Amino acid sequence: MMVQDTWTHRTVLLNEAVTALRILPDGHYIDATFGRGGHSRLILSMLSSQGRLTAFDKDPEAIAEATIIQDPRFSIRHEGFNQIAQLAPSSAAGLLLDLGISSPQIDNAARGFSFRGDGPLDMRMDTTRGQSVAQWLADASVESMTEVIRDYGEERFAGPIAKAIDRARQERGAIHSTRQLANIVAGAVKTREPGKDPATRTFQAFRIFINAELEELTQALTASLNILQPGGRLIVISFHSLEDRIVKQFIAEHSRDVFDRRAPFAAPKAMRLKALGRVKPSDEEIAANPRARSAVMRLAERTEVPL
């Protein structure tokens, strides 16, 4: 596969994320969302000959980009980041999850992620398997569409949008293109925040749903507790409130001692993470890369494993 070089990608919070990992030259690190390799390349530059970096990505174009890196310390897996659960317990000195979709995915109309151009209504991260948004919409009920748009897009007009999609299917047949969907949504949404396209929330909802992004995130966070060694860092960069809420609640849940109310005199279950706060892009980074403006990076450290 040829790597598409028409579209460029700027890695968000590049130096901040890698600095937060607190790289040990001989350590084993996980870049669970390789993307276009910005974080991975910087991590590799800080490792010794004994260090290792394992990366994951579902996108075939990202895998093609990763094959350019000819480094015995580096390996790439064509898998979703929930598959970090396959790694050995306490084997990683740090785990990085950058949950944003890459600029080439957005800017390439053929991927179907964006309403700004016209392309096939796909939105799959892994185009080699699974169901596209167009295929799902062909048979989805109004109730299912409403639920997805409401829950994953936080869209208050979820019901009218779902009904408009259903009406369009009945009148004009299946919806195959991003422009078709964007126009349908625009006709159903009567008001919108200034500067925001009416289709933004619906496209986000369908992308999250078709790729099972929130479920995969929850699985990966749970696995991080097992694969991180004591003192290992967990770094997660989120780009919308649904993701960030999951990460924030996960870190909070595992950053406190847990008491069993059924056994009030028993010793509490020790916390498994130490919360280290959050970081947002600087004004300078946002000015240079407006897509960074919604990013939130949360940091945590694996505590010592109790005996």
- In order, the DSSP letters of 20-86 are HHT--TT-EEEES--TTSHHHHHHHTT--TT-EEEEE-S-HHHHHHHTT---TTEEEESS-GGGGGG
CA angle 231, 70, 237 (to 5 degrees): 40
Question: 227 and 30 in contact (C-beta within 8 Å)?
Answer: yes
Q: Say what the pLDDT of residue 117 is.
A: 76
User: Which residues, 6+ apart, have CB-to-CB distance to 297 below 8 Å?
Assistant: 13, 16, 17, 20, 235, 236, 237, 238, 278, 279, 280
Report the alpha-carbon distance of residue 164 to residue 50 in Å, rounded: 57
- Does the 129-210 domain belong in CATH 3.40.50.1820? no
* CATH number of the domain located at residue range(s) 14-103+213-302 in this protein: 3.40.50.150
Q: Say what the pLDDT of residue 257 is.
A: 56
User: Which residues, 6+ apart, have CB-to-CB distance to 197 below 8 Å?
Assistant: 115, 182, 186
pLDDT along the chain (307 residues), means of 10: 49 95 98 94 98 96 94 96 96 96 66 78 92 96 98 96 97 94 92 80 95 97 97 96 96 74 57 94 93 94 74
Place of tokens 């800080």: 46
Report the alpha-carbon distance of residue 34 to residue 223 in Å, rounded: 18
Q: Say what the pLDDT of residue 8 is.
A: 60
The domain locations on the chain are 14-103+213-302, 129-210
Question: 225 and 253 in contact (C-beta within 8 Å)?
Answer: no
Query: How many CB atoms are located within 10 Å of the residue 75 CB?
Result: 13
Are 14-103+213-302 and 129-210 in the same CATH fold?
no
